[in-house]
């Protein structure tokens, strides 16, 4: 199991939001670690993701890692057999909800539309 998977299990995104954002803002490499350690299926994700996106919006690797975090689930790999389609559809529904409910810049909307493809 990767370190980022372990971090995903123990990070409370909602409670640790400010710490995660501060850590990610310090250095690009630290933003990579945060992106690898969060998931859209957990509370607090979207505010963290958009803060990182805004800070590193020109960094393709950050955007890719955030898109991965949107698609990933917090369901253990052993349980995921047979569930990937259901989990992915749930994440895509989340993206649609965010697009319709949150005030986003055109750049943020374009980035989220890429997730849907």
Q: Where are the domains of the chain?
A: 3-116
- Over residues 44-66, the pLDDT tens digits come to 999 999 999 999 999 999 999 99
> What pLDDT, on the 0 to 100 scale, is given for residue 79?
47
Residues 6+ apart with CB under 8 A from 60: none
pTM of the model: 0.81
- Which residue bears the tokens 């949150």? 102
Q: Which of 102, 5, 106 is nearest to 57 (CA)?
A: 106
Mean pLDDT, all residues of the chain? 84
């Amino acid at each position: 199991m990767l370190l980022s998977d372990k971090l995903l299990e123990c990070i409370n995104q909602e409670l640790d939001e400010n710490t995660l954002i501060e850590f990610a803002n310090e250095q690009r490499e630290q933003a990579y670690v945060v992106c690898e350690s969060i998931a859209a299926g957990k509370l607090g994700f979207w505010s963290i993701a958009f803060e990182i996106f805004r800070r590193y919006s020109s960094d393709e690797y950050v955007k890719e890692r955030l898109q991965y975090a949107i698609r990933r689930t917090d369901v253990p790999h052993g349980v995921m057999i047979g569930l990937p389609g259901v989990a992915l559809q749930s994440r895509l529904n989340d993206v649609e909800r965010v697009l319709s409910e949150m005030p986003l810049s055109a750049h943020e909307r374009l980035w989220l539309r890429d997730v849907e493809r």
